[in-house]
């Protein structure tokens, strides 16, 4: 049965859903960067011709990341329900959704970081090593500073992806705008809710992309 809802009743729901989505995306983005950034650096360093060559380790890490990237997120959401329950104690709500969202995103971000580091001038790396520098010096003095604009662009791209992931998490009761769209929009055939959530998501993505592009341009200009 089609149901109707006044805009006065819809605004509080949209606000709560937006806050839940921002919470999920913010927390998942933090964990994604904390896991994906060092993993991407390690992938770059352990190449056969890298600063810390370890082909076997690189192959294992690469395989794990490729598996993570190959799984559709909706499948990952369901497959990680037991792990989510172990970590959070529940599979419902915004906090529980952070677990599969993070696991679904960090392999992608790790590859973004690795690609960004690939663009760094190899001559700068060789210069640091020739002066007695070690892997830490290469990472802290050359790789991360030189690749920062590209990494920041990757963070922006990843956050936009996380917004989409957070919406899909509504399928398993993850909260946020996705859950709002499913429970009030799809299941109750309420077009107002569907339109409202779509508009908020579009605005959210636009703001994130605009802010990220602005920061990347400022960093590139300073360089």
Tens of pLDDT, residues 200-223: 999 999 999 999 999 999 887 766
Domains of the chain: residue spans and CATH: 14-221 (1.10.3720.10)
Distance of alpha carbon 80 from alpha carbon 70, whole angstroms: 15
Flag whether pLDDT at 2 surpasses 60: no
Tens of pLDDT, residues 50-106: 889 999 999 999 999 998 888 888 888 888 989 999 998 888 888 889 999 999 999
pLDDT in the model for residue 4: 57
CB atoms within 10 A of CB 213: 13
pLDDT in the model for residue 1: 43
pLDDT in the model for residue 108: 94
Q: Which long-range contacts (CB under 8 A, 24 or more apart) does 69-77 make?
A: 69/107, 69/108, 69/111, 71/104, 73/100, 73/104, 73/165, 73/168, 74/168, 74/171, 76/100, 76/103, 76/104, 77/104, 77/168, 77/169, 77/171, 77/172, 77/174
Measured on CA atoms in the order 42, 45, 46, 47, is the torsion positive or negative? positive
Distance of alpha carbon 95 from alpha carbon 218, whole angstroms: 33
Tens of pLDDT, residues 144-191: 999 999 999 999 999 999 999 998 887 777 788 888 888 877 777 777
Task: State the number of CA atoms in the 13 A half-sphere of 10 facing the CB.
Answer: 19
Contact 45, 52 (CB under 8 A): yes
What is the three-class DSSP state of 86?
helix
Higher-confidence residue of 222 and 34: namely 34
> pTM above the 0.85 mark?
yes
**What mean pLDDT is predicted for residues 4-27?**
84
């Amino acid at each position: 049965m089609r149901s109707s809802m006044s805009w006065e009743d819809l605004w509080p729901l949209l606000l709560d859903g937006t806050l839940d989505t921002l919470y999920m995306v913010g927390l998942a983005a933090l964990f994604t960067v904390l896991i994906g950034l060092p993993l991407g650096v390690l992938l770059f360093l352990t190449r056969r011709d890298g600063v810390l060559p370890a082909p076997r380790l690189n192959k294992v890490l690469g395989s794990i990341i490729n598996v993570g990237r190959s799984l559709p997120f909706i499948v990952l959401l369901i497959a990680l329900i037991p792990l989510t329950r172990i970590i959070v104690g529940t599979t419902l709500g915004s906090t529980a959704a952070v677990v599969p969202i993070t696991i679904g995103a960090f392999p992608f971000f790790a590859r973004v970081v690795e690609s960004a580091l690939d663009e760094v001038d190899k001559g700068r790396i060789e210069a640091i090593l020739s002066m007695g520098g070690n892997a830490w010096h290469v990472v802290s003095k050359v790789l991360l500073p030189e690749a920062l604009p590209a990494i920041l662009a990757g963070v922006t791209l990843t956050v936009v992806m996380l917004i989409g992931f957070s919406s899909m998490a509504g399928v398993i009761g993850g909260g946020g705008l996705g859950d709002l769209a499913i429970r009030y929009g799809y299941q109750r055939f309420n077009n107002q809710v569907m339109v409202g959530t779509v508009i908020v998501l579009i605005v959210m993505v636009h703001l994130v992309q605009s802010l990220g592009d602005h920061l990347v341009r400022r960093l590139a200009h300073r360089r």
